Structure 1
Amino acid sequence: MKALFIIFIFCFQLLMSPTMKAQTTFGEGAGEYQELFNRIKERLLDSDESRKVTLGGKERSQFVPWIRDNTHVVKAMKYFVSDISSFWELFMERQTKEGLYYDYYMPITAPENHRMNLFDHRYWKIFSGEKTQMHRLPVEADLEYLLVEGAWYIWQAEGDNEYLHRWMNNLEKGLYYSMNDPLRWSKKYQLIKRGYTLDTWDFMQLPTTREEYTRAGGDVQDGIFNINENTPMGIMHGDNSGLYAACNQLSRMYESMNEPEKAEIWAKQAEIIRIRTNKLCWNGKFYVHFVPDDPMPSYLHMDQKNTLSLSNPYDINRGLPTHDMAVSIIKTYQSLKEKNVLNSFAEWFGIYPPVEPHFADYQPGSYMNGGVNTIVAGELAKAAFQHGMESYGVDILNRLLDLVRKHHGDLPVAYRPDGTVDAGIPDNWGQAAVMSALIEGLAGVVDRGQLFQSVELSPRWLVAGKDDVKITIHYPASDKKVNYHYLQKKNQNRMQLTVSGDPLNYKVRLFLPVGKSPSKVTVDNKSASIKTEKVESSTYVVVEHIPEGEHVIMVEYK
């Protein structure tokens, strides 16, 4: 009897062990994409940038010491770790009275502390008790919408409306700062403006080389980072797609908090930004790099109208372009792949074409000046999956897997066109973009709200050649999850999806083989109406309003 009791206790402890909790996983049936998923997951969880830090009297989980980069990494980390809010909260707590946020923190003895002599006092602060300093690079125009994006991920994964409600006024204050400060807001175009940087990057061109600029008595960091009322500025599409997304995210969060008036205000603001940006920044094929608000400096030799920049895939995933516009952007990258097959190993350029003879001493093909990076690869793959260009999405993932194998399980973020590794960007930023493409693109799990309560499942394993795949996507912060088992039986002309987990409502979109049409759809062996959705040449069978619980959706086709 005692032995049976011991066995019972052991089994109970095993079941209750944290190691037995749900985890975000790709099952063995995913084949090489399980390998890609596992390697990226390992690198994200073991990043050199990630650590526990004590700031503001509290231990915090940092993924990158810059809140911008940290936000981009949380896009993936929300599926793997429970604490995604403490580091974000530090920057929220230290928002300035006018509404701007700091970029980063560093030790008070760091060599960059001389920036305090260059930048206006509104852009920096010393925290003597912690022996740290926090700065805002003045040229940057993205933090206010990125702090909203960070809140959105926290809202999705934690589901704590009461916690987020405490910060909503601050988030609004940040966006109002962006839309009112004369150094941030274009009076002419009523959109966010910035100095002439490379897309969303944080430095401007110099009139000479860095060495010549210093020899003439200038400070390079003042020249590339600082702005004032005399700085030439323009409209960069990525800042405004970020603002558009942030307005929508605020609207959705206010809706969940039962504040319909504020939800409506921000939804309308989003649509205004979308109309203005699409009208001003679209060149017929993609979003132009910059639209001048002030004339470009004479020493900046760029064809802004025909320069393709990294925020284009972000624009798609933020919902700024129409579907046709999104497809045009994706096809532009496909054409670059074909065009550059002899002089670049991939088409995932930060800027194309690069700036000649250099940009602030970054030579063509290096860093953001025509370098190739996995940030673009991940965002572009996800966009391709979600806009009917699934084969291209798989093609990108296959090439990323080749890189992971080449680097023995690692995936650097930055490359030169010849395939050699470059430096300057946190690797986990790019890895997070790739993970998002795997989960939301290939596996097709998209949380349309929070806590997977309303989830869209669009498994695209057919185009990857996988017939039997099990997926679990999990939020450790709330222990909420969604599971599915995708099963394709080609010899029987049918496929099925078994779903379970915490969703209250499922929308299922099953991707049909080319040339096939559905002949029968059932949910739990009960007939369902046949509804299809055409996305480019792809056909999806759509089943909506499937309630909570475990269900089997089956599609027969001919």
Structure 2
Amino acid sequence: MKHLILFLLIGVLGSAWLPAIPAHAAAHASFTSQQPVAQPLVPVTIAVHIPGYNGSATLVIFDGQQRFAGSFPLTIANGQGLVEVIPRGALGSHWAALFTADGQMVANGPIYRLDAETTLHSGVAAYDQLYPTVRRFMAADRLSYILDGQLVTGYRSPDSPLLWLRDHYYQNRAFRYFETDLRSLPEAFARIQAADGSLPDFLARLEWEIPAFRTPVEADVEFLFVQLIFETWQVTGDTAWMLRMLPAAQRAIDYTMRDPLRWEPTLGLVKRPFTIDTWDFEYGPPMFNPNTGELGPRHWIDEQTKWGIFHGDNTGLAAALNALALMEEAAGQSNLAAVRRTITADLMTRLNALSWNGRFYTHHVKLIPYNVPGVDEAEQLSLSNAIALNRGVLSETQGRAIVAEYLRRLNDPQRIAFAEWYSIDPPFPSGTFGMNGRLGERPGEYVNGGIMPLVGGELARGAFRYGYESYGFNILQRYIDLIERTGATYLWYYPTGGIAPVHEFLPTDGWGASAMLGAMIEGAAGIEDSAIGFQNVTISPRWSADPIHDIRDVYAVARYAASDAYTAYRWHITPPTANRPGQLVLTATGSGEMFRLRLLLPPSMTPQTVTLNGTTLPLQIEQIGFSRYLILDVKGPIITVNVTLTL
């Protein structure tokens, strides 16, 4: 380590650096941080002491990965000096060396420990409090218990005191920033994976005598398992763990694409019984539970089951195949990874030909046509359209079309619902899905037309992604207003704003809250992990698009609690006037190596010049809809971009 650092110092200071170190200076010179624990990009004052010395000096700092993290000049008078440094780079103990004007190193050693926590300071209190609010909600959803002699930790459904794989997976949009036990739940599911690769919906609760169970009509469990393994790897950076889990992920995908209950070979797509979107009860009258004899929803497959193609199962499988390919490449299985990507492209081509109607995905394409009275199925917009926006499998044209359709329904003068976050719209008539009186049987209830924050959060994140940035901010503000109304968040609301029966649903819905927080961090703040552990990160600050707040200065940090992976930036804009140019400044750092910067340009402003760490670069503009982004691909951890703007 010392040899590497000395080599780097030669590069930083050049030939003026001399190897001889004066004994008296080495013995008595020192530097001390006034903050032993520093935060990224938050200035820290360092007190420097070189007895008997007057003149200039330089403090050179290296990060926890031994990367150069900054050189800071100062003046020493009567042996004393102060210098303000900007902490950057990897977390952990940072090391510094102090040099006098003649190039002599007079002190070296640890200077401070860099730490980080997910943080947002935008000057808008409602935005800045969303992360702590969601974290507080989700503390009530965290569930841990011993299963087969091992502690399992996960995030429960708001309508069931069990650990469902799907509810846990979708909540990881938020808990990745504060939860450290990410491995135990996917490991628990892997332990009970069937020989054919299939998985249950939820884990057993033995103290309640509830076994693990798969609702037979579900077709999405396996691809969610694969995505959960991938995203756990992404957050923890634990490649050895991922490689141990990879065979289970491969078996799960093989099951989906081979089992006759899940795969339609004539179309080359995932099939399922006619359920409402991804939910677990199917079309038709109530049926008797074959295990208990109780009359209830149609969770089981029988001779009355009606089959079809649901778009969400297939966009989800496509996303999981892409994730699996990345894991297989890391395992040295590049040929298999290439096959996965080919299958993904073919699958999306077939799905688009069958289900894409030009505005959104048709809810359910029947394998054998039949009529569902009382609803225009061609106009039914179901919730997995919003989820598809963030699965990385849509074209820009498709993504913009889906967002535009939700926006059109928001602005529909005939709209009665308080928000356009429909589980499905229009809903099915009462009794279409027989529930024996349970919620969801009537239109406007539960997944049959209820309003769901989980849809709003996915929609907002997609709006930011596809050039509808102001709409994304609008959704976030309305969700914040909804929370402030009751101090709670629910899985679903009646279209007129009423709350579902409180005895059936937690007032701390983690699914919707996670989706909204994902929209804030990945959408508004624009910090998006493009690989594993923020090693390759995209930063797209979109604050200038807020239609209500005039945001000028932002400090944002995204940190994975289960690892030292993080990204931080400061963003500032000074709008131009008729008499002077304006400036857009981004200072960024993080644990990663590569950064793609996408700086949203206000519509009335024109970029004239751009510099990166003082070096002028050519302008590269990306257009998404009416939105313009200035694009730079740079290496970290020291990044300062300055854009000159004119009217």
**TM-score normalised by length of structure 2:** 0.76
Report the alpha carbon displacement of residue 32 of structure 1 after superposing the two structures with TM. Answer: 2.5
| Alpha-carbon distance, 1:394 to partner | 0.7
Aligned mates of 2:135, 2:414 — CA distance in 1: 30
Q: What's the secondary structure of 2:265's corresponding residue? A: coil
Distance between the aligned counterparts of 1:152 and 1:516, measured in 2? Answer: 40
For the 8 Å contact 2:453–2:516, the answer to whether it is kept is yes
Q: Which residue of 1 aligns with 2:295?
A: 220
For 2:604, which of 487, 498, 515 is the aligned residue?
Answer: 515
* CA distance, structure 2, for counterparts of residue 10 and residue 460 of structure 1: 34
Report 1:39-54 matches (<5 A).
39-44=133-138, 46-47=139-140, 49-54=141-146
Alignment-derived partner of residue 639 in structure 2: 551
1:379 aligns with 2:379: no
In 2: Cα distance, 1:260 partner to 1:360 partner = 48
Amino acid at match of 1:476: A
Bigger CA drift: 69-78 or 241-250? Answer: 69-78
Q: How far off its partner does 1:525 sit?
A: 1.1
CA distance 1:509–1:68, change in 2 (3 Å): same
* Displacement of 1:218: 7.2
Q: CA deviation at 1:236?
A: 0.3
Matches within 5 A, 1:184-195: 184-195=262-273
In the alignment, the residues of structure 1 paired with residue 33 and residue 380 of structure 2 have an alpha-carbon distance, to the nearest angstrom, of 65
| Residue of structure 1 equivalent to 2:496 | 418
Q: 1:374-402 CA deviation, whole Å, 9 max, x = no partner? A: 01000000000010000110110110111
Deviations 1:9-55 (Å, cap 9, x if unpaired)?
A: 998699999x98421111253543112333223212x22x3122111
Quote the residue 1:86 is aligned against.
Answer: 184
1:516 positional shift:
2.2
Q: Quick one: higher RCO (CA 8 Å, sep 6+), 1 or 2?
A: 1
**Matched-pair identity in %:** 32
1:397 aligns with 2:482: no
Q: Given the alignment of the two structures, is residue 480 of structure 1 paired with residue 558 of structure 2, yes or no?
A: no
Which shifted more, 265-274 or 418-427? 418-427
Distance 2:353 2:152 in 1: 42
8 Å Cα contact 1:340/1:347 also seen in 2: no
**1:402-436 Cα distance to aligned partner (Å, 9 max, x none):** 1111122x322310011011256661011111111
- Measure how far apart 1:220 and its partner are: 3.1
Amino acid at match of 2:144: K
Distance 1:183 1:303 in 2: 28
- Secondary structure of residue in 2 paired with 1:317: coil
Q: 1:317 to 1:12 in 2, by over 3 A?
A: closer
* CA 1:341–1:399: 2 relative to 1, 3 Å: farther
Residue equivalent to 1:118: none
- Quick check: 1:26 aligned with 2:114? no
CA contact (8 A) 2:574 2:584 kept: yes
The code of the aligned residue for 2:593 comes to L
The one-letter amino acid of 1:458's match is S
Aligned 8 A contact 1:40 1:411 in 2: no
Out of 617, 626, 631, the position equivalent to 1:528 is: 617
The residue type paired with residue 148 of structure 1 is V
Q: Deviations over 1:129-188 (max 9, x none)?
A: xx5511000000000100011012111111111111111111111111111111111122
Identify the structure with the greater strand proportion. 2
The letter of the residue matching 2:358 is G
Match of 2:69 in 1: none
Structure 2: state its 5+ residue gaps.
1-31, 40-91, 94-112, 157-162, 436-440
So what's the TM-score if we normalise by structure 1? 0.88
Residue matched to 2:543: 461
Do structure 1's residue 204 and structure 2's residue 296 form an aligned pair? no
Alpha-carbon separation, structure 2, partners of 1:89 and 1:355: 38
**CA displacement 1:87-144 (0-9 Å, x = unmatched):** 121001110001100111344575xxxxxxxxxxxxxxxxxxxx55110000000001
CA RMSD of aligned residues (A): 2.5
Q: 1:470 to 1:20 in 2, by over 3 A?
A: same
Contact 1:39/1:404 (8 A) holds in 2:
no
The range that moved more, 338-347 or 193-202, is: 338-347
* 2:419 alignment counterpart: 346
Which residue identity does 1:353 align to in structure 2? P
Matched, 1:35 2:35: no
Moved more, 410-419 or 340-349: 340-349
Q: In structure 2, do the counterparts of structure 1 residues 168 and 342 end up closer, same or farther at CA, with 3 Å as the change threshold? A: closer
Task: Give the Cα–Cα distance (whole angstroms) in 1 for the partners of residues 239 and 413 of structure 2.
Answer: 48
Structure number having the greater helix percentage? 1
> Hey, what's the Cα distance between the residues in 2 that align with 1:552 and 1:51?
42
Kept in 2: contact 1:232–1:295 (CA 8 A):
no
Rounded to whole Å, the distance in 1 between the matches of 2:361 and 2:505 is: 24
Deviation for aligned residue 1:302: 4.4
In 1, Cα distance between equivalents of 2:146 and 2:207? 17
- Aligned mates of 1:30, 1:98 — CA distance in 2: 51
The one of 320, 330, 337 aligned to 1:256: 330
> Per the alignment, do residues 10 and 81 of structure 1 end up closer, same or farther by CA in structure 2, a change over 3 Å counting?
farther
> Match for 1:329 among 385, 402, 407?
402
Q: Does 1:498 align with 2:587?
A: yes
Aligned pair partner of 1:148 in 221, 226, 250: 226
Contact 1:205 1:300 in 2 (8 A): no
Superposed displacement of residue 253, structure 1: 1.8
Q: Indicate if the aligned counterparts of 1:345 and 1:417 stay in contact, CA closer than 8 A.
A: yes
Q: How far apart, in 1, do the equivalents of 2:35 and 2:523 lie?
A: 38
> What is the alpha-carbon distance in structure 2 between the residues aligned to residue 543 and residue 425 of structure 1?
46
> By how many angstroms is 1:299 displaced?
6.4
In structure 2, give the amino acid aligned to 1:86.
S
- The structure 1 residue matched to 2:520, chosen from 431, 438, 447, is 438
Cα distance in structure 2, aligned partners of 1:528 and 1:481: 27
Distance in 1 between the 2:588 and 2:36 partners? 27
298-307 vs 310-319, greater mean Cα deviation: 298-307
What's the counterpart of residue 270 of structure 1? 344
Equivalent of 1:366, from 411, 424, 445?
Answer: 445
Contact 2:37 2:114 in 1 (8 A): no
* 1:163 and 2:241 correspond: yes
Matched to 1:220, the amino acid is: L
Tell me if structure 2 keeps the 8 A contact 1:78–1:153. no
Q: Which amino acid aligns with 1:555?
A: V
Map of 1:315-326 to 2, 5 A cutoff? 315-326=388-399
Contact 1:378 1:436 in 2 (8 A): yes
Greater shift, 85-94 or 194-203, is seen at 85-94
Aligned to 1:201, the other structure's residue is in SS state coil
Q: Secondary structure at the match of 1:135?
A: coil
Figure out how many residues of one structure are paired with residues of the other and give that number: 519
CA distance in 1, matches of 2:212, 2:397: 42
Asked which structure has the greater CA Rg, the reply is: 2
Partner of 1:72 in structure 2? 170
In structure 2, distance between residues paired with 1:500 and 1:425: 41
Structure 2 residue aligned with 1:407, among 480, 486, 489?
Answer: 486
SS of the equivalent of 1:105 reads coil
Letter in 1 for 2:495: P
SS in structure 1 opposite 2:267? coil
Provide the rounded CA distance (Å) in 1 between the counterparts of 2:380 and 2:496: 21
Asked if 1 retains the 8 angstrom alpha-carbon contact of 2:237 and 2:533, the reply is: yes
2-structure distance, mates of 1:360, 1:20 = 57
Q: Distance in 2 between the 1:63 and 1:310 partners? A: 21
Please state how far the C-alpha of 1:471 moved relative to its aligned partner: 0.5
Q: Displacement of 1:266 after TM fit?
A: 1.2
The 10-residue stretch of structure 1 (513-522 or 380-389) with the greater mean CA deviation from structure 2: 513-522
Structure 1 residue identity aligned to 2:612: V
* AA in 2 matched with 1:441: G
- CA contact under 8 A between 2:122 and 2:551: conserved in structure 1? no
Deviation at 1:300, TM superposition (A): 6.5
1:489–1:306 Cα change, 3 Å: same
Corresponding residue SS for 1:414: coil
